[in-house]
Structure 1
Amino acid sequence: MPPNPKYCMDTSSYITAWCHHYSPTIFESLWKKVGEALNQGIIISPREVLDELERGSDDLLKWAKLHKAAFVELEEKPQEILSDIMRSHPKIIDLNIAEIQADPYVIALAKHTNTIIVTEEKSAVDSKKKLKIPDVGKNYKVKCIPFGKLIEMEGWKF
């Protein structure tokens, strides 16, 4: 694991930024900065985020695989946090989906590394179906921001 990560990025931010707001064909220099932050260990994600990205074999997946070292396996302590999250917030995953869901892994890794979660998910406290990262993250005292706020906090200019 990188020594001093600052952010733990969720799948939703990679996909939303890449596909909807900051296309790499237009914002090439942004994605270069994100890649550098991944390579330097400033941004990390659990391996399960890469697994979710693999469900759509496209240019984002190819780009993410160039930065594979930033997608880390959860070690023992974050696994304990993950178990606690699943026990106390079982609705963090959708039981109707068979594939691995990265949300609880993102929260566990962020809590363990004391990083800020970057996610496009919005709070949905009253959701009957599935809890959202910001709601569960709040219970673990983990701050959540959208991708645009990451750009602002890092002072990236284009």
Structure 2
Amino acid sequence: MSGASAFKIAQSVLVVIYTPALDVLLIRRADATEYWQSVTGSKDREEESFHDTAVREVFEETGIACGAGTPLAGCLRDWGLENVYGIYPQWLHRYAPGVTHNTERVFGLEVPVGTPVRLNPREHTNYQWLPWQAAADACFSSSNAEAVLMLPRFLG
């Protein structure tokens, strides 16, 4: 990483991917198979925008392209919400010493029914589409569940 820190940046995105019928995509973590979640991921660089992080993480984790020039580019929306939460103890070692909290920016991405999902097997082992309320119940993270429950108010 030529001079760059090996530690994760404590700024991340949460992207709720959903269909017009409000079915929500959840993916199961490879490092904690009991955990279902939406797309999440940290900035690669401090100067990377949250939007660019969201585009990158959606593609890396699901194979869904939503960046500039793609059919879904206009479907990724910044919900203007940020969550600050304590980093789970099992993942603290990924951050610099003394870093205990993460700031997470929330986005929504509407995709057509039948959008193919291609998981990165190093990160996720399975996926499922669930009605939004069932998806909120299945999320291991309270901030993820809360974001899914807010979905209806961000439509339109």
Give yes or no for TM over 0.5. Answer: no
Could you state the TM-score of these two structures normalised by the residue count of structure 2?
0.28
The alignment's TM-score, normalised by the length of structure 1, stands at 0.28
Q: Which has the larger strand fraction? A: 2
